[in-house]
Structure 1
Amino acid sequence: MKLFIASVLYLVAVTSAQNPNKCSLRSADIPRDFLDMSIGCKKEVRRQIQEEINASMQYLAMGAHFSQSTINLPGFAEFFFKAAAEEREHATKLIEYLLMRGQLTDDVSTLIEVKSPPTVSWERGLDALKQALRTEAKVTKSIKQVIASCENDSHDHTNDYHLVDFLTGDFLQEQYSGQRDLAGKISTLEGLVRQQGSFGEFLFDKTILG
């Protein structure tokens, strides 16, 4: 038994020494009959994953900005950090969807690109909320573009009913609710700032967001 184990360890060591950085296992020969997502629709979903990551990075920048000791608005910071996590969750859901449909068999390192957000500082919390609403509107428009493309793929002349239903039911509902919530917060904060000045922003951070 000891000799057998020693032999196995020797073979593993030799194999690793010959090619230490590359796995030599063959890919499984899986029938491709179940892969029915069109090329155009697949590209649109991958594009949307990048949109969600971009939005997440923007919200991370917002959260970090309001966390600074010189600004110290923890309510704003927590709100935007939570928004960043939600966008990453959306990206994860789309990745899991592609996996379910068997559409992530290629190099996943090309799936996303981490980009620096266009804006990294804000003079007021109100400015950040308004940019957040514009960001959400952009993401919503992008999701609707995916739906339109997959509802009638001009390349393959197909309709991906399942993906369209998934995006319409899960994603658009959350987008519209989030946009309405941001619009309400902007309205409330503008009223407080109009009446109380900078103290209104402090009250909003502590009472509404805190």
Structure 2
Amino acid sequence: MSTTSVIDALQSQAEHERFASISYLALSLWCEAADYSGFAEFFKKQAAEEAEHTEKIHGHLLDRGVQPILGAVEAPRQQFSDLIDVAKYVVELEKANTRGIHGCYEAALEQRDYPSQVMLHWFIEEQVEEEAWTGKLLTLAQRANCAGAMATLDRHVPRIFAD
């Protein structure tokens, strides 16, 4: 692989993807404890998706002769006041993810690391989708301004955001 700047950026992003995975797991557990089973199911799937993203970056590094390094991942936030608070959190989580992906791409461009650029195109497109659904989730949660509306949203979240 070409340079340490690209390797470092990819390693850092892989760690953020791991953090996002455990963050979504924490969100799933919070939702389950709060009797929002639809949100719990959806966030559990998101946790698995973020783990796949980590594996994708690790696979790229391994294919390029670099051993991925696993660092300590901080504990995710685990307490929320309500589902609007949860939705705001996922918006920020995905915006941070986008910043990291863009940083990786900028490093790959600077170093003319074409294989990493190609791999990162997939992540760039993925982040457009991720930011779109998180924005929609926040809008829907804000509109569901009574217990009945929130319960209905909870029932329909897995379908609304099905892949």
One fold, TM greater than 0.5?
Answer: yes
Structure with the higher fraction of residues in helix conformation: 2
CA root-mean-square deviation? 1.4
Report what 2:105 is aligned to. 147
- What displacement does 1:122 show? 1.2
Residue 77 (structure 1) aligned to one of 23, 34, 40: 40
Report what 1:11 is aligned to. none
Structure 2 unaligned regions, length at least 5: none
- What displacement does 1:64 show? 0.7
- Find the aligned partners of 1:50 and 1:185 in 2 and give their Cα distance: 25
- Find the aligned partners of 1:122 and 1:41 in 2 and give their Cα distance: 35
Report what 2:155 is aligned to. 206
The answer on whether the counterparts of 2:87 and 2:141 sit within 8 Å (CA) in structure 1 is no
Q: Once the two structures are superposed, what CA deviation does each residue of 1:59-117 show, in whole Å capped at 9, x if it has no partner?
A: 1111011112xx2110110111111111111000001101100111xxx5x42323211
The answer on whether the counterparts of 1:44 and 1:149 sit within 8 Å (CA) in structure 2 is yes
Q: Once the two structures are superposed, what CA deviation does each residue of 1:48-69 show, in whole Å capped at 9, x if it has no partner?
A: 111111111111111011112x
TM-score of the two chains, using structure 2 as the length reference: 0.91
Report what 1:166 is aligned to. 119
Question: Within the alignment, does 1:97 sit opposite 2:46 as a pair?
Answer: no
**Matched residues, number:** 159
The answer on whether the counterparts of 1:67 and 1:73 sit within 8 Å (CA) in structure 2 is yes
Structure 1 unaligned regions, length at least 5: 1-35, 153-157
Q: Percent identity?
A: 25
The answer on whether the counterparts of 1:76 and 1:125 sit within 8 Å (CA) in structure 2 is no
TM-score of the two chains, using structure 1 as the length reference: 0.72
Report what 2:50 is aligned to. 87
- Find the aligned partners of 1:54 and 1:114 in 2 and give their Cα distance: 6
Query: Runs (4+) of structure 1 moved beyond 6 Å?
Result: none
